[in-house]
Copies of this chain bind each other. A is one copy, B any other.
Amino acid sequence: MRIELADIQDAAKRLEGVAVRTPLIENPTLNAIAGGRVLLKAECLQSTGSFKIRGAYNTLSRLSADAAERGVVAFSSGNHAQGVARAGQLLNIDTHIVMPADAPASKRENTARLGGNIVDYDRYSEDREAIARALAAERQAVIVPSFDHPDIIAGQGTAGLEIAEQAAAIGTEPTQAVICCGGGGLSAGCAIAMQSLLPGVRLYTSEPAAYDDTAQSLAAGRRMAVDTSVPSICDALLTPSPGELTFDILKGRVTAGLVVDESEVRAAMRFAFRELKLVIEPGGAVALAAVLSGKLETAGEVTAVMLSGGNVDSALFSEIQAEPN
Contacts and interface: CB of A to CB of B under 8 A. Distances in A.
Interface of A: 20, 23, 25-29, 42, 44-45, 47, 49, 106, 273-280, 310, 314-315, 317-318, 321-322
Nearest to A44: B277
A321 B314 contact: yes
Contacts of A28: 20, 47
Nearest to A113: B29
Nearest to A53: B28
Contacts of A278: 45, 277-279
Contact of A277 (B275, B310, B321, B322): B310
A215 to B, nearest CB: 27
Nearest to A315: B322
Copies of this chain present in the complex amount to 2
Contacts of A45: 25, 27, 276-278
A300 to B, nearest CB: 18
A314 to B, nearest CB: 4
Contacts of A322: 314-315, 318
B20 A23 contact: no
Contacts of A23: 23, 25, 42
A276 B310 CA distance: 9
A-side interface mostly: helix
Contacts of A275: 49
A27 B27 CA distance: 22
Nearest to A273: B279
Given A317-B321, A321-B314, A321-B318, A274 B44 contact: no
Contacts of A280: 277
A53 to B, nearest CB: 9
Report, nearest first, the 8 A-B pairs whose CB atoms are least far apart: A277-B310, A23-B23, A318-B318, A314-B321, A277-B279, A44-B277, A28-B47, A273-B279
Contact of A20 (B26, B274, B315): B26
Given A20-B26, A317-B321, 4 more contacts: A273-B314, A273-B317, A315-B322, A318-B321
A105 to B, nearest CB: 11
14 contacts: A20-B25, A20-B28, A25-B45, A44-B277, A45-B276, A49-B275, A273-B317, A277-B310, A278-B278, A314-B321, A314-B322, A315-B322, A317-B321, A318-B321
A23 B278 CA distance: 13
Nearest to A317: B321
A314 B310 CA distance: 17
